[in-house]
Structure formats: structure tokens, C-alpha cells
A and B are shown apart, each in its own frame.
Chain A
């Protein structure tokens, strides 16, 4: 179980065509084990964020192959990938990106409602559990845009967790958080990897943060160093 492969990429190559053709990823290959807490670091322009969006299945304009949980995702349609993301991948973005018109609770519930596996009551119960795990249960019914940055980031993590995804991906999760909140996010991720066996992949340029993860991949000029 411990050594089961969660994500595997082979020879990923990607070009940007605007403003001029430029090779961002020059053949990247690696595997991530289930329950591993992986961080990807590198300077701006090294291709680390680009790599994450390819891993996330949102970016499909690449060469090479991407497998998650043994499923080959390269070549699937946008709608199939959306359904796959919904069930298997949780996201945490740099700028927390909640839907401002919805309450925190609704924000957390939406992906599960979309999945439609459980009744609304069960989903609400799970959402409360998620929020409790992140110690933000008391803000559940507040509108998302009334929360502080750290609080919003925690709600975003709660949302990423709602469907029990096998992988959680995060782009600069601590990018605009203070050290206290950074530590909190780190602890949460560590707990998820260890206790739930969820794979976590973070892109960050915070080396302190990266040093506390299980494994760090460093990138430069589209290649793993």
C-alpha cells in the first residue's frame, strides 16, 4: 500500500506559443507515491507552475504521458477530465479563489454536490467535518469574501478535501500567508498525507516550507535538477 504509485509522468514536453514559441518543459519524468508529500521548487520561469497545471489535468496542451492512480489521462476529453478532477483531485490555489457570493459552507460543499455521490445532508455534515479539521467551523455560514486571507486559504483546503481526493495539488499555498498560517497549512498537509494517505503536491518558492516536505523536486529551465 505504502509504495503504490499515485502519479506518474513520462517525458513531459510543453511549449508556449505566445508571445513566441518557447519550450517550457523539456522532457520531465517522475513518479509520486501514494501518501507522499512532494514539493516542487525552482525560480520563476523554471516551469514548475506549468508542470503543476499539466499534472492537474487542466492543461492538456502537452506531449508525453500523465497517469494518475494507474489511469492514463493523456488524450481524454475536457468533460471526462473535469469529472476526473471532481472525484480524484483537490486544488488549493495561491489566491484562495473562493466564490465570493457563496458562504464558506457552500463553497466547500459545491464540488461534492457536483459529484452527487451523497445526499445534501451527508455532504453538509462532511463539509462541517472538513471545516472543523481546519479549525474554521465557526465561520461556516459567513460569506466567503468576509474572511481574512488565512481563513480563506483554510476554507479552500477544506473544499479541496470534500470529495476525499487521492491527490491534493497546490500552487504556492502559503504565497501570501504569514508564518503562523504557513505553519498551520504545512501541519494540515502533513497530517493529510500521513493519516489519510493522500498524496500532496505543492509548488512553492518557499525553501523553508519545501524542506519540511517528504521530497523536494527542484526545477530549472524546464528540467529536473
Chain B
């Protein structure tokens, strides 16, 4: 009963000063809507960037490369002895890079519950030759189905067909710009020269166009069996094993787990691409900083308005106290005003933020794979925006309402 009187008084206060209330609500509305818009926009940018990056990047990569130069049988043998030794013309012996028994590792990896897709690749540098033209590039020998599962590569093929690689033993799919530079079309013949001096002719069965120019200019796909043949490797050979997991943000535990099982180099995308991680987190910091600044400004606005209201109504507060309203009641009267402003402002802010984001999503922006400015909505941004909006108003309303609760009716009424 007593509670509802306080709320009744609060609502009379709010409605009798419409413009003041309106301005306070608008402050919160802008704060909340900016929070939603900034975060949705940043999410959109991050997502676009990630989509771009992960069109050619797996979450985890397993490989075997010679980066262990420390082995030296002579030095280790005579270590700490007084023997003087001198080695002339030291040479490295050939290091067996690549993974010889890839299917064992693949089946090990596939047993992990976090793993969504595994694909083997053989990557190597070649010269693409056509007539007198010679272009430096890279070939990926790939397993068709898993590769498509990881990178949706089949969608990038604009001419010909991704699955042609399966049927044509000597088929190759090359990048659009590479084809242009060599003056080749589908069904043309192309010569590939490896670093070991092996040369072989292939038929172009497809042309792909990714969103990354450098790849379109230099890359070609072979079936993995054709690649093994070209390099003279065994039928279980792969240079890389690429893994996608359920949540790409949590690669660390999976990497750790695989590290115990597999004696090869295992690298998460975060380790390999620190600039991506840094970019995303910097953008998030900016988004949060901007939206909190706006909420803070709105908070000061509400603080000011509440203070003014309380100074204006100081006589009425005295009367209420004289007729039996306690300090607690007065506080709840003014806090519920702040709460109402926060709730209404938060609600309007959600609507406005959503509309602004939709509007921005219509702005044309023709760069890379984008057509308009990217927006990506997440429920948590909306929830947090309302929570922060409400918190700001309650904090901004708390101090003035505490002051109101302390009003001494005697001094006010006696004048």
C-alpha cells in the first residue's frame, strides 16, 4: 500500500514536468542506442574480417617443418671437455619435412569431440607455364570434400566445377587472375614446374575467385593424389593437416590436448595471426569506450535533472516528511523516478539502436566482399545495453535521492 503511494507520487512528479522527463529519457535512449549500434557495427566488422580471414585459414594447423637446428653430435659429445675441435664446411642433412603417415593422425584428430572438420593438404611452390609465360605460384593438393567443408571452396569456383578435380585425373583449378595473366580459359592446358624440376601438363577444369586478390593471382588446386604423384611422395603424405573446431575462440585447450598425442608442430590461428586478434580486440575496446562515454554523459544529465527537481521540490519533500513519509519513502520516490527514466530510456534505446543499425546496414560500401556497411546483432549486446542504461540512471538518481531523504523539514518549513 505504502509502496504504491510512493510510486504514485513519483509518477505525478514525472508527468507534471514532461519536458524535463523527456530530456532525461532521451539521454538514456541515445546512450543505449549508441551502445547497441556501436557494438553491432563492430561485431559486423569483426565478423566480416573473420569470414574473410577464415576463407583461407583453419582454426588449427598441424605441420612438420625443419626448425630444429640445435642438433650437433660433435659439440654435444665433447661438451664440457677440454678437447679443442674444429668443424669445417658444416652442411645440414636433408630433413624429412611433411607428414608421411597422415591418415593415422587424421583418425586421431577426428576422435576429439571439439573437432568439426579435418582436411589434409599438400602445399608447394611451383612455376605455372603457358607458352612463353612463366608465373611463380603455389599449388594446394587437397581432399575435395573436407576442403569444401572447411573453407566452402566449391562456392568460389566461378567457371567449371569443383568436383571436376575428382573425375579428371589431370585436372587443375586455378585462380581467376592467374588464368587472366596466363591468358587461359577452362579446358586449356597448363604446365606446372616444381622446384625439383618435375614438369607436368594439366587441364584447367575450373576457375575460382576468392575475396583475396593475392590468392586469385597465385594459387591453384590439385587433387591430393595428383599432388602426391607430382612430388613423388607416398600415398599417405600431406604437408599440412587443417582442423576446424566448434568454437574458434577456444583453440588453446584443443591445441594442448593434441600436443600430447601428436609429436608434430601444432599451431592455432591466434598464434599464426596475432594481428587479427589484436584488431578485433582493439575495435571492441573502442566500441565499449565510446558507448560508455555516452552512457556516462547521459548519467550526468540525469544527475543534474534529478538534483534540480529535488531543489525545486524541497518544500514538498518537507511536507511529505512532516505528514509522516520517512527518509526511505522519499528516497524510493526519487529512485523510482530514476528507474522509470532508465527503463523507458532503455526500451526506447533498444528500438532506436535497432533502427539505426538497420539503417547503417543499408549504406553502400563496396569494398572487398562487402556491399553495405556490416552489422551483426547479438542478444547479449541488447541485454547489456539495457542493464548498463538502468545502472547508470539508478546510480545517477541515487545520490540526489539520498540528499532528498536527508532534507530537514523543520528548516524548510520555518523558512
Contacts and interface: CB of A to CB of B under 8 A. Distances in A.
A102 interface: yes
Interface in A88-110: 91, 93, 97-102, 106, 110
B276 interface: no
B410 A101 contact: no
A93 B315 CA distance: 12
B326 A79 contact: yes
B1 A113 contact: yes
A97 B315 contact: yes
A142 interface: no
A114 B326 CA distance: 10
Interface in B292-327: 315-316, 318-327
Contact of A78 (B4, B5, B315, B326): B326
A6 interface: no
Contacts of B323: 85-86, 91, 110-111, 114, 159
B328 A79 contact: yes
Contact of A110 (B5, B13, B315, B413): B5
A91 B320 CA distance: 11
Interface in B355-380: none
Contacts of B315: 97
A93 B323 CA distance: 11
Contacts, number: 76
B76 interface: no
A58 B322 CA distance: 7
Given A114-B325, A116-B1, A59 B413 contact: no
> Which label, helix, strand, loop or mixed, suits the secondary structure of the A interface?
helix
Contact of B13 (A59, A97, A101, A116): A101
Interface string B94-123: 000000000000000000000000000000
A217 interface: no
Interface string B317-349: 011111111111100000000000000000000
B409 A58 contact: yes
A196 to B, nearest CB: 19
B217 to A, nearest CB: 74
- Most chain B beta-carbon contacts within 10 A, residue among A56, A82, A159: A82
Nearest to A118: B1
A199 interface: no
A53 interface: yes
A114 B324 contact: yes
A115 interface: yes
B321 A58 contact: yes
B69 interface: no
| Chain A contact patch, size range | 20 to 34
B414 A87 contact: no
Given A99-B316, A114-B2, A116-B2, A83 B12 contact: no
Given A58-B409, A97-B315, A111 B324 contact: yes
Contact of B325 (A82, A87, A102, A106): A82
Given A110-B5, A113-B1, A101 B322 contact: no
Contacts of A78: 326-327
A49 interface: yes
A53 B9 CA distance: 26
Contacts of A102: 12
Contact of A113 (B5, B322, B326): B5
A59 B13 CA distance: 27
Interface in B1-22: 1-2, 4-5, 8-9, 12-13, 16
A149 B102 CA distance: 98
A83 B413 contact: no
25 contacts: A49-B414, A59-B410, A79-B326, A79-B327, A79-B328, A82-B325, A82-B329, A85-B323, A86-B324, A86-B325, A87-B324, A91-B323, A99-B319, A99-B320, A101-B12, A110-B5, A110-B9, A110-B320, A111-B324, A113-B8, A114-B323, A115-B2, A115-B324, A116-B1, A116-B2
Name the 6 nearest CB pairs between A and B, nearest first.
A86-B324, A116-B1, A82-B326, A113-B5, A79-B326, A101-B16
Given A53-B413, A86-B325, A113-B8, 12 more contacts: A58-B321, A98-B319, A99-B316, A99-B319, A99-B320, A101-B16, A110-B5, A110-B320, A113-B4, A114-B329, A116-B1, A159-B323
